[in-house]
Amino acid sequence: MQGERNAASTPPVGDALAPGAGVGPGSGPSVGLGPSVGLGPGPGSGPEGVVLRAEGLDKHFGGVYAVRNLTMQVEQGHTVSLIGPNGAGKTTVFNLLSGVNPPDAGRIVLAGEEISGMPQHQIARAGIGRTFQNIRLFPGLDVAENVMLSLDARNRYHWYDGLLRLPAFHREDRASRDQLQEYLAAVALEKYAHSKPAELSYGYQRRVELARALAARPRVLLLDEPAAGLNPGEVEEFIELLERLKGDYNLTILIIEHRMQVVMRMSSHVYVMNFGALIAEGTPEQIQNDPAVVSAYIGDAHA
Protein backbone atom coordinates (compact mmCIF):
# COMPACT_ATOMS: atom_id res chain seq x y z
CA MET A 1 0.00 0.00 0.00
CA GLN A 2 1.14 3.55 -0.61
CA GLY A 3 3.89 4.62 1.77
CA GLU A 4 4.32 1.16 3.27
CA ARG A 5 7.58 -0.70 2.82
CA ASN A 6 8.67 -4.22 3.49
CA ALA A 7 10.51 -4.88 6.73
CA ALA A 8 12.35 -8.16 6.46
CA SER A 9 13.03 -8.24 10.16
CA THR A 10 9.37 -8.06 11.25
CA PRO A 11 9.03 -10.92 13.75
CA PRO A 12 5.91 -12.98 14.33
CA VAL A 13 3.48 -11.98 17.05
CA GLY A 14 3.91 -13.85 20.31
CA ASP A 15 7.69 -13.70 20.25
CA ALA A 16 7.47 -10.50 18.22
CA LEU A 17 5.27 -8.74 20.73
CA ALA A 18 7.45 -9.66 23.64
CA PRO A 19 9.50 -6.78 25.06
CA GLY A 20 12.99 -6.62 23.53
CA ALA A 21 12.02 -8.48 20.37
CA GLY A 22 12.44 -7.31 16.82
CA VAL A 23 15.82 -5.57 17.19
CA GLY A 24 17.72 -5.65 13.94
CA PRO A 25 21.08 -4.52 12.63
CA GLY A 26 22.06 -0.93 12.02
CA SER A 27 25.01 1.40 12.27
CA GLY A 28 26.17 4.62 13.80
CA PRO A 29 27.73 6.06 16.93
CA SER A 30 26.03 5.89 20.28
CA VAL A 31 25.61 8.80 22.68
CA GLY A 32 24.56 8.49 26.30
CA LEU A 33 21.25 10.16 27.00
CA GLY A 34 19.61 11.48 30.10
CA PRO A 35 17.19 9.55 32.30
CA SER A 36 13.94 8.41 30.82
CA VAL A 37 10.65 9.97 31.80
CA GLY A 38 7.86 7.79 33.15
CA LEU A 39 4.69 7.65 31.08
CA GLY A 40 1.31 8.57 32.41
CA PRO A 41 -1.90 6.53 32.59
CA GLY A 42 -3.66 5.23 29.50
CA PRO A 43 -6.17 6.93 27.21
CA GLY A 44 -9.32 8.14 28.87
CA SER A 45 -7.50 9.50 31.89
CA GLY A 46 -5.30 12.17 30.30
CA PRO A 47 -5.16 15.52 32.11
CA GLU A 48 -6.48 17.45 29.13
CA GLY A 49 -8.53 14.82 27.28
CA VAL A 50 -8.43 13.93 23.61
CA VAL A 51 -6.08 16.10 21.52
CA LEU A 52 -6.36 14.23 18.19
CA ARG A 53 -9.34 12.29 16.90
CA ALA A 54 -10.01 10.66 13.54
CA GLU A 55 -13.58 9.64 12.80
CA GLY A 56 -14.65 7.28 10.01
CA LEU A 57 -11.66 7.94 7.74
CA ASP A 58 -11.70 6.43 4.25
CA LYS A 59 -9.02 6.64 1.58
CA HIS A 60 -8.92 4.70 -1.66
CA PHE A 61 -6.56 4.74 -4.63
CA GLY A 62 -8.49 3.60 -7.67
CA GLY A 63 -10.46 0.57 -6.56
CA VAL A 64 -8.21 -0.23 -3.60
CA TYR A 65 -9.11 0.96 -0.12
CA ALA A 66 -5.96 1.90 1.77
CA VAL A 67 -7.95 3.03 4.81
CA ARG A 68 -11.53 2.06 5.53
CA ASN A 69 -13.80 3.54 8.22
CA LEU A 70 -10.96 4.19 10.67
CA THR A 71 -11.75 5.81 14.01
CA MET A 72 -9.06 6.42 16.64
CA GLN A 73 -8.04 8.99 19.21
CA VAL A 74 -4.94 10.14 21.06
CA GLU A 75 -5.03 11.55 24.58
CA GLN A 76 -3.01 14.60 25.55
CA GLY A 77 0.41 13.65 26.90
CA HIS A 78 0.29 9.97 25.92
CA THR A 79 2.15 7.78 23.46
CA VAL A 80 -0.11 5.71 21.21
CA SER A 81 1.13 3.15 18.69
CA LEU A 82 -0.35 2.19 15.33
CA ILE A 83 0.90 -1.22 14.26
CA GLY A 84 0.09 -3.87 11.68
CA PRO A 85 1.63 -5.97 8.91
CA ASN A 86 3.33 -4.33 5.95
CA GLY A 87 0.77 -2.82 3.59
CA ALA A 88 -1.88 -2.49 6.31
CA GLY A 89 -2.39 1.23 5.60
CA LYS A 90 -0.55 2.75 8.56
CA THR A 91 1.51 5.31 6.64
CA THR A 92 -1.58 6.27 4.64
CA VAL A 93 -3.24 7.15 7.97
CA PHE A 94 -0.29 9.42 8.75
CA ASN A 95 -0.61 10.97 5.30
CA LEU A 96 -4.27 11.75 6.01
CA LEU A 97 -3.53 13.21 9.45
CA SER A 98 -0.69 15.40 8.15
CA GLY A 99 -2.40 16.55 4.94
CA VAL A 100 -0.26 14.72 2.40
CA ASN A 101 -3.50 13.17 1.12
CA PRO A 102 -7.04 14.39 1.84
CA PRO A 103 -9.46 11.80 3.23
CA ASP A 104 -12.25 10.64 0.93
CA ALA A 105 -14.60 10.47 3.89
CA GLY A 106 -14.53 11.13 7.62
CA ARG A 107 -13.09 13.95 9.70
CA ILE A 108 -9.93 14.75 11.67
CA VAL A 109 -10.11 16.98 14.74
CA LEU A 110 -7.04 18.48 16.43
CA ALA A 111 -7.54 20.19 19.78
CA GLY A 112 -11.20 20.85 18.96
CA GLU A 113 -10.53 22.21 15.45
CA GLU A 114 -11.39 20.22 12.34
CA ILE A 115 -8.34 19.97 10.08
CA SER A 116 -9.70 17.49 7.52
CA GLY A 117 -8.48 18.36 4.04
CA MET A 118 -6.46 21.41 5.09
CA PRO A 119 -3.21 22.09 3.19
CA GLN A 120 -0.11 20.57 4.77
CA HIS A 121 1.35 23.88 5.91
CA GLN A 122 -1.85 24.83 7.73
CA ILE A 123 -2.00 21.45 9.45
CA ALA A 124 1.63 21.86 10.50
CA ARG A 125 0.87 25.30 11.92
CA ALA A 126 -2.17 23.89 13.72
CA GLY A 127 0.13 21.49 15.56
CA ILE A 128 0.85 18.27 13.63
CA GLY A 129 4.56 17.46 13.39
CA ARG A 130 5.90 14.47 11.50
CA THR A 131 8.89 12.33 10.62
CA PHE A 132 8.91 9.85 7.73
CA GLN A 133 9.70 6.19 7.10
CA ASN A 134 12.42 7.17 4.67
CA ILE A 135 14.53 10.02 6.00
CA ARG A 136 13.74 13.26 4.16
CA LEU A 137 16.52 15.74 4.81
CA PHE A 138 17.93 18.31 2.40
CA PRO A 139 21.33 16.90 1.43
CA GLY A 140 22.71 20.28 0.34
CA LEU A 141 22.00 21.86 3.74
CA ASP A 142 23.88 21.17 6.93
CA VAL A 143 22.24 19.92 10.13
CA ALA A 144 21.59 23.39 11.52
CA GLU A 145 20.07 24.60 8.25
CA ASN A 146 17.76 21.58 8.04
CA VAL A 147 16.40 22.33 11.50
CA MET A 148 16.20 26.09 10.81
CA LEU A 149 13.69 25.38 8.05
CA SER A 150 11.04 24.61 10.67
CA LEU A 151 11.94 27.68 12.71
CA ASP A 152 11.90 29.99 9.69
CA ALA A 153 8.43 28.75 8.76
CA ARG A 154 7.11 30.04 12.09
CA ASN A 155 8.73 33.49 11.99
CA ARG A 156 6.34 36.43 12.12
CA TYR A 157 8.18 39.08 10.12
CA HIS A 158 6.89 40.25 6.72
CA TRP A 159 8.63 39.51 3.46
CA TYR A 160 9.84 43.07 3.15
CA ASP A 161 11.45 42.87 6.61
CA GLY A 162 13.59 40.03 5.29
CA LEU A 163 14.29 41.68 1.96
CA LEU A 164 15.40 44.97 3.55
CA ARG A 165 16.89 43.36 6.67
CA LEU A 166 14.71 45.49 8.93
CA PRO A 167 14.79 45.18 12.74
CA ALA A 168 11.85 42.75 12.80
CA PHE A 169 13.84 40.31 10.67
CA HIS A 170 16.95 40.50 12.86
CA ARG A 171 14.85 40.11 16.02
CA GLU A 172 13.15 36.97 14.73
CA ASP A 173 16.39 35.59 13.31
CA ARG A 174 18.21 35.93 16.66
CA ALA A 175 15.33 34.22 18.46
CA SER A 176 15.31 31.39 15.92
CA ARG A 177 19.06 30.80 16.27
CA ASP A 178 18.73 30.63 20.04
CA GLN A 179 15.97 28.06 19.66
CA LEU A 180 18.07 26.16 17.12
CA GLN A 181 20.76 25.56 19.73
CA GLU A 182 18.14 24.29 22.14
CA TYR A 183 16.76 21.74 19.68
CA LEU A 184 20.20 20.55 18.60
CA ALA A 185 21.17 20.08 22.24
CA ALA A 186 17.93 18.22 22.91
CA VAL A 187 18.96 15.46 20.48
CA ALA A 188 22.71 15.65 21.22
CA LEU A 189 23.70 17.06 17.83
CA GLU A 190 25.41 20.34 18.78
CA LYS A 191 28.82 19.27 17.52
CA TYR A 192 27.34 18.14 14.20
CA ALA A 193 25.58 21.44 13.49
CA HIS A 194 27.69 22.18 10.40
CA SER A 195 27.87 18.62 9.09
CA LYS A 196 25.92 17.54 6.03
CA PRO A 197 23.38 14.74 6.56
CA ALA A 198 25.39 12.32 4.40
CA GLU A 199 28.30 12.68 6.84
CA LEU A 200 26.20 11.32 9.71
CA SER A 201 25.20 7.78 10.56
CA TYR A 202 21.65 6.69 9.82
CA GLY A 203 20.78 6.93 13.51
CA TYR A 204 22.00 10.50 13.72
CA GLN A 205 20.10 11.43 10.58
CA ARG A 206 17.00 10.21 12.40
CA ARG A 207 17.85 12.65 15.18
CA VAL A 208 18.12 15.53 12.72
CA GLU A 209 14.65 14.72 11.43
CA LEU A 210 13.36 14.55 15.00
CA ALA A 211 14.93 17.93 15.88
CA ARG A 212 13.34 19.47 12.78
CA ALA A 213 9.94 18.10 13.79
CA LEU A 214 10.36 19.41 17.35
CA ALA A 215 11.27 22.86 16.04
CA ALA A 216 7.78 23.11 14.53
CA ARG A 217 6.44 22.97 18.12
CA PRO A 218 3.81 20.31 17.47
CA ARG A 219 0.85 19.49 19.66
CA VAL A 220 1.01 15.93 18.30
CA LEU A 221 4.17 14.33 16.91
CA LEU A 222 3.71 11.59 14.30
CA LEU A 223 6.71 9.25 14.14
CA ASP A 224 6.78 6.82 11.21
CA GLU A 225 9.10 3.91 12.10
CA PRO A 226 11.66 6.09 13.92
CA ALA A 227 13.69 3.07 15.08
CA ALA A 228 14.07 1.57 11.59
CA GLY A 229 17.70 0.88 10.72
CA LEU A 230 18.98 1.33 14.27
CA ASN A 231 21.13 -1.25 16.01
CA PRO A 232 20.06 -2.68 19.39
CA GLY A 233 22.01 -0.12 21.43
CA GLU A 234 20.66 2.75 19.37
CA VAL A 235 17.10 1.47 19.75
CA GLU A 236 17.44 1.58 23.53
CA GLU A 237 18.96 5.07 23.41
CA PHE A 238 16.23 6.24 21.04
CA ILE A 239 13.51 5.04 23.42
CA GLU A 240 15.17 6.96 26.26
CA LEU A 241 15.53 10.02 24.04
CA LEU A 242 11.85 9.99 23.05
CA GLU A 243 10.72 9.52 26.64
CA ARG A 244 12.91 12.42 27.77
CA LEU A 245 11.72 14.71 24.97
CA LYS A 246 8.13 13.75 25.68
CA GLY A 247 8.53 15.00 29.24
CA ASP A 248 10.63 18.06 28.42
CA TYR A 249 8.35 19.31 25.62
CA ASN A 250 5.00 17.99 26.86
CA LEU A 251 4.63 15.93 23.71
CA THR A 252 1.76 13.76 22.59
CA ILE A 253 3.08 11.02 20.29
CA LEU A 254 1.46 8.76 17.70
CA ILE A 255 3.98 6.22 16.47
CA ILE A 256 4.14 3.60 13.72
CA GLU A 257 6.74 1.00 14.58
CA HIS A 258 7.64 -2.59 13.73
CA ARG A 259 10.09 -2.78 16.61
CA MET A 260 7.91 -4.24 19.34
CA GLN A 261 10.53 -3.28 21.91
CA VAL A 262 9.53 0.33 21.21
CA VAL A 263 5.79 -0.36 21.16
CA MET A 264 5.72 -2.34 24.39
CA ARG A 265 7.98 0.06 26.27
CA MET A 266 6.46 3.37 25.23
CA SER A 267 2.78 2.88 24.46
CA SER A 268 -0.16 3.42 26.76
CA HIS A 269 -2.54 2.32 24.00
CA VAL A 270 -2.12 0.41 20.73
CA TYR A 271 -4.24 0.32 17.56
CA VAL A 272 -3.76 -2.56 15.11
CA MET A 273 -4.54 -2.32 11.38
CA ASN A 274 -4.81 -4.95 8.67
CA PHE A 275 -5.96 -4.43 5.06
CA GLY A 276 -6.83 -0.80 5.76
CA ALA A 277 -9.11 -1.40 8.76
CA LEU A 278 -8.67 -1.48 12.51
CA ILE A 279 -8.84 -5.02 13.85
CA ALA A 280 -7.96 -4.45 17.50
CA GLU A 281 -7.09 -1.85 20.11
CA GLY A 282 -6.09 -1.93 23.75
CA THR A 283 -3.12 -1.85 26.07
CA PRO A 284 0.12 -3.42 24.86
CA GLU A 285 -0.54 -6.44 27.05
CA GLN A 286 -4.04 -6.90 25.62
CA ILE A 287 -2.78 -6.57 22.05
CA GLN A 288 0.01 -9.06 22.64
CA ASN A 289 -2.55 -11.77 23.35
CA ASP A 290 -5.31 -10.77 20.94
CA PRO A 291 -6.16 -13.67 18.56
CA ALA A 292 -7.01 -11.29 15.69
CA VAL A 293 -3.58 -9.66 15.99
CA VAL A 294 -1.78 -13.00 16.09
CA SER A 295 -3.71 -14.11 13.00
CA ALA A 296 -2.89 -10.88 11.13
CA TYR A 297 0.83 -11.34 11.71
CA ILE A 298 1.35 -15.11 11.40
CA GLY A 299 -1.90 -16.35 9.84
CA ASP A 300 -4.62 -18.67 11.06
CA ALA A 301 -3.27 -22.07 12.05
CA HIS A 302 -6.61 -23.63 11.05
CA ALA A 303 -6.75 -22.03 7.58
Residue 5 lies in a domain: no
Decide which of 4 and 125 is more confident.
125
Decide which of 298 and 283 is more confident.
283
Minimum mean pLDDT among 73-87, 145-159, 187-201, 204-218: which range?
145-159
Do 98 and 198 fall within a single domain? Answer: no
Domain closes at, from 215, 240, 259: 215
Q: What is the mean pLDDT of the segment spanning 240-260?
A: 93
Q: Evaluate whether 7 touches 90 at the Cβ level (below 8 Å).
A: no
Burial (CB count <10 Å: 0-12, 13-18, 19+), residue 215: buried
Do 107 and 57 fall within a single domain? Answer: yes
Q: What is the mean pLDDT of the segment spanning 263-282?
A: 94
DSSP state of 9: T
Q: What is the mean pLDDT of the segment spanning 137-156?
A: 85
Residue 200 lies in a domain: yes
Q: What is the mean pLDDT of the segment spanning 151-157?
A: 67
Write out the residue range of the structural domain in which residue 252 sits: 12-17+41-127+218-303
Do 238 and 283 fall within a single domain? Answer: yes
Contacts of 61 (CB under 8 A, 6+ apart): 2
Do 156 and 94 fall within a single domain? Answer: no
Residue 27 lies in a domain: no
Which CATH number characterizes residue 281's domain? 3.40.50.300
- SS3 category, 254: strand
Domain closes at, from 167, 194, 215: 215
Domains contained in the chain, number: 2
Q: Given a cut of 90, is residue 142 above it in pLDDT? A: yes
Do 113 and 251 fall within a single domain? Answer: yes
Do 240 and 112 fall within a single domain? Answer: yes
Of the CA atoms within 13 Å of residue 119, those in its CB half-sphere come to 3
